[in-house]
Amino acid sequence: MGALIWLSSYPKSGNTWLRTFLHHLLINPPAPLPPDSLGRFTLGDNHRIWYDKAAGTSTIGFEEERISALRPRAQALMTGAFPDSVFVKTHSMVGQRHGAPLINADVTAGAIHVVRDPRDVVISAADHYGLTIDQMVAQMADPNAVIGGNANQVQTWLGDWSSHVTSWTGRAGPGLLAVRYEDMEQKPLKTFGAIAAFLGLRPPKDRLERAIRFSSFKVLQNQESQHGFGERSRHSARFFRVGKSGQWPGVLTAEQVRLIETRHADVMKRFGYR
C-alpha cells in the first residue's frame, strides 16, 4: 500500500503524455506499449468502481452530495491498488464540494501538474468534447464547469481554467512539480529529466531518452492507429490529434483570443503565456 501521486491537469493539457512517459520509464520495455496499457499503470480518480467499493453498493443514481461524501474514502481505497506509490490521473481541481475535499490530502504523497497555453487547450478540448470553440472558451471561464458522469465515471469538477491551475500550483512546496506542456515539447530531456528527479529516480541517460522517444507524439499517433485508445472521445476522429504548441494564431479569432487573454491574464502571465 502506498500514498497517491497525482498526475493532474486541465483536460487536453498533456496528462496522457506524462502518463505514457512514466509508464515507459518505469517499465522500460523494448518497444512502445499500446496506449490502453496505461490502465494497468495509473488509476483514474473518477472511476466509479472506487466509489462503489467505498459505498459497498452500486453508486449509479447517487446524488452529487453522496458522491462527494464518498470521495475521501474512495481515494483512500486507491492506495491499496499497488504496494508502492500509486499514480492517479485527475482532471479535478483542488477544493471542496459539499464540505468534502475533492483531493484527499491525508493519502497524498505529491503531485505533478501539467499546464498548457489555454489558447491551445481550447482548440484541442473543443474537438475532444464535441463543442464549438466559442462554447469551449465559455466553459474554460465557468467556475462551475464539470465533466463526466456516466455508468463508469463520476463527475469531475473542473472549475474555470485559471482557478483549476491555481488550485494545484498556488502553493509551492516539495510535494508539487508544475511543468509546462511547451517545455515537454521543446526541452524534453531537461523537462522529463526533472520529472524523473522529482520522483526520486536517476535513470541512465539512454533509458530516459528511450522513454521520451517511446512517448513522443508521433509514436503515440502510430500506436493509436494500430491499437486504438479507449480514452478517445466519440466526438473525435482520434485522441492524439496534433500535439503541437502554438496552433492558436491560425485557428482562433481575434475575439476568442481577447476573451481568453482577458479572463486568464494573471495565470497566463505567471506561466509565460503573455
- pLDDT per residue as tens digits for the range 134-192: 999 999 999 999 998 999 999 999 999 999 999 999 876 779 999 999 999 999 999 99
Looking at residue 172, its pLDDT comes to 67
Contact 164, 184 (CB under 8 A): no
DSSP state of 79: T
DSSP states of 191-207 as a string?
Answer: HHHHHHHHTT----HHH
pLDDT at 229: 54
In the sheet that 176-180 helps form, which strands lie side by side, from edge to edge? Answer: 43-44, 86-90, 4-9, 108-115, 176-180
Candidate from 43-47, 60-64, 222-226, 248-252 with smallest mean pLDDT: 222-226
Q: Enumerate domains of the chain plus CATH numbers.
A: 4-270 (3.40.50.300)
Which cell is 247 given?
Answer: 496552433
pLDDT at 31: 87
Strand partners, 179: 114
pLDDT value at residue 221: 67
Q: Whole-angstrom Cα distance, residue 136 to residue 142?
A: 10
* pLDDT for res 40: 77
Bridge partners of 97, per DSSP, are 100
What is the average per-residue pLDDT within 35-42? 74
Average pLDDT over residues 98-116: 97
- The per-residue pLDDT for 41 is 82
pLDDT band per the 50, 70, 90 thresholds, residue 238: very low
Percent of the chain with pLDDT over 70: 90
Residue 129 has pLDDT above 50, yes or no: yes
> In this model, does residue 36 exceed pLDDT 60?
yes
In this predicted structure, the answer to whether residue 239 has a pLDDT above a threshold of 60 is: no
pLDDT one-digit tens code per residue, 187-234 = 999 999 999 999 999 999 999 999 999 888 777 666 656 555 555 445
Q: Which residue has the higher pLDDT, 233 or 88?
A: 88
